[in-house]
Chain A
Amino acid sequence: MTTAVADAHDSHDEHGPAKGIGRWLFSTNHKDIGTMYLVFSLTMFFIGGAMALVIRSELAVPGLQFVHPEFFNSMTTMHALIMVFGAVMPAFVGLANWMIPLMIGAPDMALPRMNNWSFWILPVAFGILLSTLLMPGGAPASGWTMYPPLVLQTGDAFPFLIFSVHLMGISSIMGAINVIVTIINMRAPEMTLLRMPMFVWTWLITAYLLIAVMPVLAGAVTMLLTDQFFGTSFFLAAGGGDPVMFQHIFWFFGHPEVYIMILPAFGVVSEIIPTFARKKLFGHDSMVYAAASIAFLSFIVWAHHMFTVGMPLTGQMFFMFATMLIAVPTGVKVFNWVATMWRGAMTFETPMLFSLAFVFLFTIGGFSGLMLAIAPADIQYHDTYFVVAHFHYVLVPGSVSPSWPAPIIGCRSGPVTCTTRNSASCISGRRQYSST
Chain B
Amino acid sequence: MIRKSFLSMLGLFVASNVRADWALNMPKGVTDLSAETYGLHMMVFWWCVAIGLLVFGVMIISLVLHRKSRGAKAADFSHSMTAEIIWTAIPVVILLVMAVPAAETMVKLEDSRDPDISIVITAYQWKWHYKYQDEDIEFYSSLARPSLEARRKQSGIDPNAVDNYLLDVDRPVVVPRGAKVRLLLTSNDVVHSWWVPDLAIKKDAVPGIVNEAWFKVNEAGTYRGQCAELCGKDHGYMPIVVEVVEPDAFQAWVDTRKESAEQVASTQ
Using a CB–CB distance below 8 Å, which chain A residues touch chain B? 62-65, 67-70, 73, 141-143, 147-150, 153, 236-238, 241-244, 277-286, 308-310, 313, 316-317, 320-321, 324-325, 327-328, 331-332, 334-335, 338-339, 341-348, 356, 359-360, 363-364, 367-368, 370-371, 374-377, 379-380, 382-384
Nearest 4 CB-CB pairs, A to B?
Answer: A237-B208, A367-B48, A62-B159, A280-B78
Contact with A along B86-104 (1 / 0, CB 8 A): 0110011001001100110
Extra inter-chain contacts (4) besides given A64-B153, A339-B83, A383-B193, CB under 8 Å: A278-B68, A279-B74, A310-B211, A383-B229
Given A286-B79, A309-B204, A310-B203, the answer on whether A73 and B233 have CB atoms closer than 8 Å is yes
Tally of A-B Cβ pairs under 8 angstroms: 235
| Cα(A345)–Cα(B63), bound, Å | 9
| Cα(A205)–Cα(B129), bound, Å | 49
Q: Are A281 and B41 in contact (CB under 8 A)?
A: no
Q: Are A68 and B78 in contact (CB under 8 A)?
A: no
Given A283-B79, A284-B78, A310-B204, the answer on whether A338 and B88 have CB atoms closer than 8 Å is no
Partner of B78, one of A237, A282, A310, A382: A282
Q: Are B230 and A309 in contact (CB under 8 A)?
A: no
Q: Are A334 and B55 in contact (CB under 8 A)?
A: yes
Partner of A150, one of B58, B228, B232: B232
Report the minimal beta-carbon distance from B249 to chain A, rounded to whole angstroms: 28
Q: Are B58 and A342 in contact (CB under 8 A)?
A: yes
| Cα(A86)–Cα(B66), bound, Å | 39
17 A/B residue pairs, CB under 8 Å, sorted by A: A147-B190, A150-B230, A237-B207, A243-B191, A279-B78, A310-B206, A320-B102, A320-B103, A327-B95, A342-B62, A344-B66, A359-B59, A360-B59, A367-B52, A371-B48, A376-B36, A379-B200
| Cα(A376)–Cα(B233), bound, Å | 29
Q: Are A320 and B99 in contact (CB under 8 A)?
A: yes
Chain B residues, CB < 8 A from A67: 153
Report the minimal beta-carbon distance from A305 to chain B, rounded to whole angstroms: 12
Q: Are B51 and A367 in contact (CB under 8 A)?
A: yes
Interface residues of B in 184-204 (CB under 8 A from A): 189-191, 193, 195, 197, 200-204
B124 at the interface (CB under 8 A from A): no
Q: Are B165 and A321 in contact (CB under 8 A)?
A: no
Q: Are B233 and A308 in contact (CB under 8 A)?
A: no
Partner of A64, one of B68, B152, B195: B152
Q: Are B63 and A346 in contact (CB under 8 A)?
A: yes
Interface residues of B in 152-188 (CB under 8 A from A): 152-155, 157-160, 165
Chain A residues, CB < 8 A from B228: 308, 382-384
Chain B residues, CB < 8 A from A68: 153, 233
Chain B residues, CB < 8 A from A344: 62, 66, 72, 74-75
Given A65-B153, A380-B41, A384-B228, the answer on whether A335 and B55 have CB atoms closer than 8 Å is yes
Partner of B202, one of A278, A308, A364: A308
Chain A residues, CB < 8 A from B158: 63
Q: Are A281 and B78 in contact (CB under 8 A)?
A: yes
Chain A residues, CB < 8 A from B231: 150
Q: Are B55 and A147 in contact (CB under 8 A)?
A: no
Q: Are A375 and B102 in contact (CB under 8 A)?
A: yes
Report the minimal beta-carbon distance from A385 to chain B, rounded to whole angstroms: 12
Chain A residues, CB < 8 A from B83: 283, 335, 339
Residue with the highest number of chain B CB atoms closer than 10 Å, among A236, A308, A320, A341: A308
Chain B residues, CB < 8 A from A280: 78
Interface residues of B in 1-51 (CB under 8 A from A): 26, 33, 36-37, 40-41, 44-45, 48, 51
Chain B residue with minimal CB distance to A68? Answer: B153
Q: Are B55 and A73 in contact (CB under 8 A)?
A: no
Q: Are B55 and A363 in contact (CB under 8 A)?
A: yes
Chain A residues, CB < 8 A from B69: 347
Q: Are B68 and A346 in contact (CB under 8 A)?
A: yes
Chain B residues, CB < 8 A from A149: 189-191, 207
Report the minimal beta-carbon distance from A250 to chain B, rounded to whole angstroms: 12
Report the minimal beta-carbon distance from A434 to chain B, rounded to whole angstroms: 20
Chain A residues, CB < 8 A from B200: 376, 379-380
Q: From B106-114, B136-144, B240-248, B258-266, give the one contacting chain A.
A: B106-114
Chain A residues, CB < 8 A from B41: 371, 374, 377, 380
| Cα(A236)–Cα(B99), bound, Å | 36
Q: Are A363 and B52 in contact (CB under 8 A)?
A: yes
| Cα(A327)–Cα(B37), bound, Å | 21
| Cα(A284)–Cα(B81), bound, Å | 12
Q: Are B62 and A324 in contact (CB under 8 A)?
A: no
Report the minimal beta-carbon distance from A365 to chain B, rounded to whole angstroms: 11
| Cα(A143)–Cα(B215), bound, Å | 30
Chain A residues, CB < 8 A from B99: 320-321, 324
| Cα(A18)–Cα(B73), bound, Å | 48
Chain B residues, CB < 8 A from A282: 77-80
